Amino acid sequence: MKVVGLTGGIGSGKSVVAELFSELGVRLVDTDVISHALTGANGSAIGDIKLAFGEDFVDDRGALRRARMRAKVFADPTARRKLENILHPMILAESIRSLVDVRADSNYQFHYCLLAVPLLFERMSFRSLLWRSLVVDCPLRLQISRVQSRAGLAPAEIQRVIDAQLPGAIRAQLADDVISNAGDVATLKSAVTRQHGLYVAASLAQTDLRSA
């Protein structure tokens, strides 16, 4: 089973791209979903988060207070590293388990799947799992407007998130493949369908994509 790492900056549209691949029948392992499960009500990471940060960062349901933690880690790099040291090993382990499940599914029709990792190049833990890396790219102004409309965050808060990620140009240089999300949905869907066809052909041939 070949694994394609899917990534992109906040507001780039990687979730839309993941959904379009899913509509084509491609299986997706999403580390954001895994992270939310780990930090949701009585999630596996909650105990360690309480020990590291205190009860104030966990609500009455036993879930992470996300807004409070987000403000904390963006203001304090040490706190950010502490949270990452709790979450990243758990996310990696659960991702591997999920990928093993995909590989074991005899009904799955393709020889590749997607692993969505927002900070794929910022954190190199997942690189050894990958066959290819795919970046969703778009202009910065579109990133900001999409996040504002989706999450209602203030521009300064959005900019802090963007500043904590690699610049889009560097992310695109590091990627094996790039899909632009600067146009309409029809154009994006066409790009995803084309990329899917390339992955299917190369994974079946057991070759590097450049020779497919």
Check pLDDT > 80 for residue 154: no
pTM of the model: 0.89
pLDDT digits (tens, 9 = 90+) for 157-190: 788 888 888 888 999 999 999 999 998 999 999 9
A 10 A CB-CB count for 126 gives 22
Tell me: the pLDDT tens digits for 123-151? 878 989 999 999 999 988 888 888 888 77
**Structure tokens of 101?**
């499940």
List pLDDT tens digits, range 59-72. Answer: 999 999 998 998 89
Is the distance from CB of 44 to CB of 90 less than 8 angstroms? yes
Dist CA 42 CA 198 (whole Å): 41
Joined tokens for residue 197:
């066809």
Q: Assign 101 a pLDDT band (cuts: 50, 70, 90).
A: very high
Q: Is residue 211 predicted with pLDDT exceeding 50?
A: no
Where residue 209 falls among pLDDT bands split at 50, 70, 90?
A: low
Sequence-ordered list of residues with C-beta below 8 angstroms from that of 77, at least 6 positions apart, any chain? none
| Protein fold of 2-27+108-211 | Rossmann fold (3.40.50)
What local confidence, expressed as pLDDT, does residue 143 receive? 86
> What Rg, from alpha-carbon coordinates, does the chain have?
18
pLDDT in tens, 23-77: 999 999 999 999 999 999 999 999 999 999 999 999 999 999 998 998 899 889 9
